[in-house]
Amino acid sequence: MTAADLTSIRNFLLDKKLPIDILVEVYDHFTTQISELQKEEGLEFDKAFEKVKQSWQGELQPSWKGEWDLVDRSELLRKINTANLRAFLGKALYIASVIVLALMLFSFLFSFHVYKYIFVIATGLILLLPFYVYFKNFKDFSLNKKYKKYVLVSFQEYTLLSLSCLYFYFKFFTEAGTIAKMFSGTAVDANLKSTIFGIVITYAVLVISLVSYYSQRKFLHTIEKVKPFLKHLNV
């Protein structure tokens, strides 16, 4: 294929408004399939390109299926978004469950004077982790702003979950001692309602932080595949 042929493929996919990480993957499939058709069936580029476009039409055609943000999405993007969210959320729920259970156990093993420091340090490390990753790799994350006309990575909104919950995190830290007291075993006057509330609040902030962290890790891996394609985009 010529440079003009490759440009035609890129422009077609850009018109589909795909996130660039998905576009790069689909672009590779397009070039491979077109080359195979040219080689096996002796087709010219235009005919091979048209045949491949038809085979992908169902996956790439944007449509609205009741999403709250009223944005048309392709079926391919929906499948990838669902798979990513399940992966991030699954890991986050598991790790958050382990941490909460450990904190509940420690609340019985240590006096509250010692336990409150364990609670603040354990939750604080998890809550601050996404901020550390974000600022350490700020150059990579700032590419989203530089190329704001495009969505560079399909799940990039999850990487900023912690930043969007900054006020909530601040309130959590200022009330950390009170929340720690709610955990079963740390207060003589603890009741079921306050214990459940403390667990739910802690579990929620841990899940948010962990979803943000796992999405950041995958973002940093994915953006390396996207970078070579950035030269084809308009800033």
The last residue of a domain, from among 60, 76, 102: 60
Same domain for 130 and 53: no
Do 116 and 202 lie in a common domain?
yes
Pick from 6-15, 120-129, 147-156, 177-186: least confident: 177-186
Q: Do 45 and 136 share a domain, yes or no?
A: no
Q: Which residues contact 198 (CB under 8 A, 6 or more apart)?
A: 179, 180, 181, 182, 183
Tokens of 202: 């802690």
Per-residue model confidence (pLDDT) at position 16? 86
36-52 mean pLDDT: 89
State whether 40 and 154 are in the same domain: no
Q: Does one domain contain both 52 and 94?
A: no
CA distances to 31, 203, 206 from 99, rounded to whole Å, are 46, 9, 9
Residue 122 forms part of a structural domain: yes
Q: Is residue 68 one of the residues assigned to a domain? A: no
Strand extents, DSSP E, the chain: none
Are 123 and 223 in the same domain?
A: yes
Claim to verify: residue 119 and residue 221 sit in the same structural domain: yes
Mean pLDDT, rounded, for 108-137: 90
Domain count, the chain: 2
Q: Are residues 91 and 54 part of one domain?
A: no
Any domain includes 222:
yes
Residues 89 and 162 in one domain: yes
pLDDT at 208: 94
- Angstrom distance (rounded) from CA 132 to CA 122: 15
Distance CA 21, CA 149 (A): 14
The answer, yes or no, to whether residue 66 has pLDDT greater than 90, is no
d(CA 59, CA 44): 24
Instruction: Find the domain containing 35 and state its range.
Output: 3-60
Residue 44 included in any domain: yes
Note whether residue 205 is domain-resident: yes
What pTM does this model have? 0.87
Let me know whether 89 and 170 are in one domain.
Answer: yes
With beta carbons less than 8 A apart as the criterion, state whether 30 and 18 touch. Answer: no
Is residue 129 a part of any domain in this protein? yes
Q: Do 121 and 216 belong to one domain?
A: yes
Across 66-75, 79-88, 102-111, 195-204, least confident range: 66-75
> Cα-atom radius of gyration of the chain, to the nearest Å?
24
**Per-residue pLDDT band at 217 (split at 50, 70, 90):** very high
Q: CA–CA distance from 59 to each of 32, 43, 90, 126, 209 (Å)?
A: 17, 23, 26, 38, 32
- pLDDT band at residue 153, thresholds of 50, 70 and 90? very high
**Cα atoms in the Cβ-side hemisphere of radius 13 Å centred on 11:** 7
